[in-house]
Amino acid sequence: MAQPVPRQQSGEQGVRERKPGYEDGRAFAECMREQGIDLPDPVDEGSLRAAMWAVMDRYGQDTIGRAMSVCGQLMPLQAPGHAAAGDDLPAAVTADGLVKDYRGGTRALDAVSFSVGRGEAFAFLGPNGSGKTTTVKILTTLLRPTGGRATVNGYDPVRQPAEVRRSIGVVFQETSLDDDLTAWENLDFHGVLYDVPRDARKKRNEELLRLVGLWDRRDSPAGRFSGGLKRRLEIARAFVHRPRVLFLDEPTVGLDPQTRLSIWSNLAERSRINDTTIFFTTHYMEEAERAAHRIAVVDDGKIIASGTPEQLKSATGTATLEDAFLALTGKAIREEPADGAERVRPMSGHGAGRH
């Protein structure tokens, strides 16, 4: 079974950059051949990606998807945060001294700073009311910070909200699907909002619905779907316009382990193909440990630790990320803020970047 978003090995800088000729590229090619996909044996990342695109049309999305579900964990990625030669694009997400004060004097964020590399899976973890959802709201243009500055794909969420919205995807804690529309119509309408050409929408809708296992339900109204099916549809919809950064706020809350694994496998495959950065929050520590390249732990509005899962476990002398998290944040039970400030909801009138 494929593991979600394979994690790079840590080094002195937190991430070890992969070199041409790496063994896992060959292992991936061999695994794909065992699944009936005649993939040439790659010698570097460039030839691997070229080979994948070459066989995509030949075998079809369903066949490739089934093979990827078995071999996906072996597919190598460019190390997150390391741009390709000659590529001077900015970091995917940055925060520099973010502050957010709410009415009544509550400080939700207190000088929060971090940077997320392109193609990275970044987990933003914290107890209830710690500031993680407030951070997501600021980064996705739903909330203005009191102080500090952020960038998403090089754009400022305060000064350039439209540009930010067009370059990101968001999966909220609460469903934002239109229950009266079919699965296909939900994706197609999203594509229209983002000005995706009709022919491209048709191709992407089919590709994504097949990926998440909803092709046979494409004509069913979303209102008839279970919670797990709705979440899979929302993730498919988030990729229709091919966002450069995907924000996920507790995307698998309340779902069974099988559905959660399926969702993360789907996310892993699409993020590999589209080189999408993933910024996510979750209370499932095993998800963060499997999926994240790096993790930041926030508590009382401040980042109290950051690093790879292995680095956090080593720093706290613990065997699991959950134990490391508890060592950093304590075992006292936290409550959600009564005013709902730490909760992301879809907003009406969010413009062309509505999610």
pLDDT for 245-282, tens place per residue? 999 988 887 777 877 887 787 787 777 777 889 999 98
Alpha carbons 274 and 92: distance in angstroms, whole number: 14
Query: Are 115 and 91 a contacting pair, CB within 8 Å?
Result: yes
pLDDT at position 35 is 75
Please report the domains of the chain, with CATH numbers, ordered by start residue: 23-74 (no CATH), 93-353 (3.40.50.300)
Q: pLDDT class for 350, splitting at 50, 70, 90?
A: very low
pLDDT in tens, 313-324: 999 999 999 999
Query: Are 331 and 299 a contacting pair, CB within 8 Å?
Result: no
Mean pLDDT is lowest, of 5-9, 165-169, 190-194, 244-248, for 5-9
Query: Are 5 and 80 a contacting pair, CB within 8 Å?
Result: no
Query: Are 302 and 100 a contacting pair, CB within 8 Å?
Result: no
Alpha carbons 143 and 147: distance in angstroms, whole number: 12
pLDDT at position 173 is 78
Average per-residue pLDDT in the chain?
Answer: 78
Please say if the pLDDT value at position 289 is more than 80.
yes
pLDDT at position 68 is 61
Q: Which of 8, 41, 28, 26 is nearest to 70 (CA)?
A: 28
What integer is the mean pLDDT of 284-289? 88
Q: Greater confidence, 166 or 344?
A: 166
What integer is the mean pLDDT of 36-62? 61
Give whole-number Cα distances, 150 to 20, 135, 232, 245, 297, in Å.
Answer: 34, 10, 29, 14, 18
Mean pLDDT is lowest, of 15-29, 39-53, 267-281, for 15-29
Alpha carbons 173 and 183: distance in angstroms, whole number: 19
pLDDT in tens, 128-157: 888 988 999 999 999 999 999 999 998 999
Continuous segment of H or E residues that includes residue 102: none
What integer is the mean pLDDT of 215-222? 94
Please say if the pLDDT value at position 85 is more than 90.
no
pLDDT at position 122 is 93
Tell me, what DSSP letter sits at residue 148?
E
What integer is the mean pLDDT of 233-248? 91
Query: Are 205 and 184 a contacting pair, CB within 8 Å?
Result: yes
pLDDT at position 47 is 61
Token output for 19: 């070199």
Please say if the pLDDT value at position 344 is more than 60.
no
Q: Greater confidence, 61 or 17?
A: 61
Alpha carbons 28 and 291: distance in angstroms, whole number: 19
Alpha carbons 181 and 173: distance in angstroms, whole number: 20
Q: Which span out of 34-38, 44-48, 142-146, 239-243 was modeled with the highest average pLDDT?
A: 142-146
Residue at token pair 């992407």: 204
pLDDT at position 66 is 64
What integer is the mean pLDDT of 99-122? 90
Tell me, what DSSP letter sits at residue 351?
G
Phi, then psi, of 298 in degrees rounded to 5: -115, 140
pLDDT at position 104 is 83
Alpha carbons 230 and 195: distance in angstroms, whole number: 24
What integer is the mean pLDDT of 189-216? 91
